[in-house]
Amino acid sequence: MAEPTSRSAHILVVDDDPRIRQMLIRYFEEEGYHVSAVADGRGMRDALQRNAIDIVLLDLILDSGEDGLMLAREIRSRSDVPIIMLTGRDDVVDRIVGLEMGADDYIAKPFHLREVLARLRTVLRRHHPSPHQTIDTEDGNVIRFNGWMLDPRERRLITPEGEDVALTTGEFNILMVMAKHPGRVFSRDTLMNLTKGRSYEAFDRAIDAQISRLRKKIEGGKDPLVLIKSVRGVGYVFTGQSPARTV
């Protein structure tokens, strides 16, 4: 049975194969989700404008002339709604570019419906934590810096004002690694090796793109901070300050 927060979620499926659309509609509705399904970018834009979408399942290859990578970039430029890419090609370049565009996960076709459901639930929990979940302030695993809280157990980033900030999988993993080791300079290769969720090759630009998005989310606000600095010719260093410990 899906969690209470998941059962109210609205899924948008973007796939030009009517059989896949119907299969996903039937399966997710049986699991208690609300589902909209469209065949192209035009339908996607209309659905996003008309509905409060909680997650998008986006096919990489569409026959409409707009591929999934273009649409993922368009979504991410306007919203932090989570995106799971569906791909029928086992192409590592497409996977990396998809993550670079801001996708939270990818699933290769043909897929098992239970796997899609499991991945979807994981991404939804990360982006829409239960209101009953709270960060255990005594938990030594919670990382604090400059008033922010990073909870690895619930995969939540909390602002100094107590608000949740939605991060993609790559953004969260990068912040987690760097925040654990403030002052340490990480090369791009090191970050790729430490943060990859699966075994795939990556490109420098994928790390740079995720760092850029991460900076916009954690360095803005009323009191702008520089929390991630570039080290020319090397990589990046996290400069956030942990609160002083009292004895």
**76: pLDDT strictly greater than 70:** yes
114 exposure class (CB count in 10 Å sphere: 0-12, 13-18, 19+)? exposed
- Please indicate, yes or no, whether the overall pTM of this predicted structure exceeds 0.75: no
**Contact, 13 vs 36, CB < 8 A?**
yes
**Mean pLDDT value of segment 164-171:** 84
Quick one: pLDDT band at residue 232, thresholds 50, 70, 90? confident
pLDDT band at 24; cut points 50, 70, 90: very high
Q: What confidence tens digit (pLDDT) does each residue in 129-166 have?
A: 444 333 333 444 788 888 899 988 888 899 888 888 88
Mean pLDDT (whole number) for 106-130? 81
Asked whether residue 223 carries a pLDDT value surpassing 70, the answer given is no
Q: What is the mean pLDDT of the chain?
A: 80
Backbone angles phi, psi at 148, to 5 degrees: -85, 155
CA distances for 176 relative to 50, 128, 139, 151, angstroms? 35, 19, 15, 9
Q: Which helix (H) or strand (E) holds 110?
A: none
